[in-house]
């Protein structure tokens, strides 16, 4: 297997863009990635497009705007992990030698409001209850509070940190800082989750171009190596609607821990080697829990970790310097590739006022319905 590097990344701002079609949104991200790689579209030999809410042949509709070159363009869907699954396909194709240049692109236009639960669950599960996304995350948060003493204030600190970081991210949907008091006094969505602690589905796109590392410097002065690219499915669906419950303590590795262990092994690295992390903060408690399962702190230590300032830019292990999903919103198909854009930018030292000094290794993490989890570890 060949070592693979990212030589180009692109992004379309996350947010709401009215009648602007997804084809235009996706093309902008693709063109930015091609320009970043100093590469013509005709050089790309395969493409994988992640999307969840968009129609069949989304990738084809987007990328053939650049010209029909006869290459395979395959749509990929894996809930919130869709972008990780697309990047993994591109990575494997190049690593195995089947092609030299591949693109992963994610694009999405999500409707306003909470995601329709029938996109994710059977009707009987919807009727039983707990299928609306904030509900089972709230149950997990309540359980964590009971077991470890995690506080609503610590969850609020996650939101304060991420909103503060978003001020310096021109691609984020929301670019406004909030005080802890404002976060805690915002409307309760599902106790203990407040409005300013939760992400909104939205629109956007992101793309990455990969090639063999031995050829990377032909295209980029700052290529970024893919140390690991993992997509796993939970052994037990911890985050599903009934007949499973988010409050149950199931004796098995949580999917984030399961996927992280596989990624660390593939990369030959551990959590102690990470300099910066972008992770799934569908709501603030998700970040607290994910830091534990990724090995950034001990079990139950996620609340004290954020309270200590360790996850701030300038802290021991900065988390979500982009502002996270809480600030960027979540265009599901583009989410992971948006994280990849951020980590590549950080490792190149091009993140401006949100730059993590000296960042050499970064991790991207997404977690979604059915126990889909994708983790990508990048290094320079």
**Residues with catalytic roles:** 80
Read out DSSP for 289-337? Answer: HHHHHTTSS-TT-HHHHHHHTTTSTTSSS-B-TT-HHHHH-B-GGGHHH
Residues 6+ apart with CB under 8 A from 19: none
Pairing outcome for strands 203-212 and 193-194: unpaired
User: Hey, which residues does 204 pair with through a beta bridge?
Assistant: 108
CA–CA separation, 227 and 216 (whole Å)? 15
CA–CA separation, 199 and 283 (whole Å)? 6
CA–CA separation, 150 and 285 (whole Å)? 9
Contact between residue 331 and residue 366 where contact means Cβ atoms under 8 Å apart: no
CA–CA separation, 312 and 321 (whole Å)? 8
Peptide bond into 258 cis (omega under 30): no
CA–CA separation, 311 and 306 (whole Å)? 6
What is the 3 state secondary structure string of 226-268? Answer: EEEEEEEECCCCCCCCCCCCCCCCCCCCCHHHHHHHHHHHHHC
Residues 6+ apart with CB under 8 A from 124: none
DSSP, collapsed to helix, strand or coil, labels residue 276 as: strand
What is the CA angle 289-367-333, rounded to 5? 145
């Amino acid at each position: 297997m060949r070592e693979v590097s990212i030589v180009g990344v692109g992004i379309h701002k996350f947010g709401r863009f009215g009648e602007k079609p997804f084809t235009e949104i996706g093309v902008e991200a693709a063109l930015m990635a091609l320009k970043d790689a100093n590469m013509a579209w005709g050089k790309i030999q395969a493409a994988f497009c992640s999307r969840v809410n968009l129609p069949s042949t989304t990738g084809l509709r987007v990328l053939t705007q650049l010209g029909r070159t006869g290459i395979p363009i395959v749509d990929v869907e894996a809930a919130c992990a869709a972008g990780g699954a697309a990047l993994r396909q591109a990575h494997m194709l190049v690593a195995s030698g089947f092609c030299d240049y591949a693109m992963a692109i994610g694009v999405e236009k999500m409707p306003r409001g909470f995601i329709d639960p029938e996109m994710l669950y059977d009707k009987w599960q919807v009727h039983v209850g707990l299928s609306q996304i904030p509900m089972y995350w709230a149950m997990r948060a309540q359980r964590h509070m009971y077991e470890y003493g995690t506080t609503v204030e610590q969850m609020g600190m996650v939101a304060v940190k991420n909103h503060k970081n978003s001020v310096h991210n021109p691609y984020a949907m929301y670019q406004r800082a909030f005080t802890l008091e404002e976060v805690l006094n915002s409307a309760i969505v599902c106790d203990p989750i407040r409005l300013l602690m939760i992400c909104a589905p939205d629109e956007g796109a992101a793309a990455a171009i990969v090639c063999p590392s031995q050829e990377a410097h032909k295209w980029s002065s700052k290529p970024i190596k893919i140390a690991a690219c993992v997509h796993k499915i939970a052994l037990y669906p911890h985050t599903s609607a009934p007949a499973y419950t988010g409050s149950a303590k199931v004796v098995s590795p949580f999917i984030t821990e399961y996927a992280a262990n596989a990624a660390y092994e593939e990369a030959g690295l551990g959590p102690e080697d990470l300099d910066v992390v972008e992770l799934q903060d569908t709501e603030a408690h998700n970040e607290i829990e994910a830091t534990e399962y990724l090995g950034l702190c001990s079990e139950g230590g996620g609340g004290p970790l954020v309270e200590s300032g360790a996850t701030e830019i300038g802290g021991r292990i900065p988390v979500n310097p982009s502002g996270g999903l809480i600030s960027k919103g979540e265009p599901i198909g583009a989410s992971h590739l948006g994280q990849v854009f951020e980590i590549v930018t950080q490792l190149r030292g091009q993140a401006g006022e949100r730059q993590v000094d000296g960042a050499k290794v970064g991790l991207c993490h997404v977690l979604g319905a059915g126990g889909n989890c994708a983790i990508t570890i990048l290094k320079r």
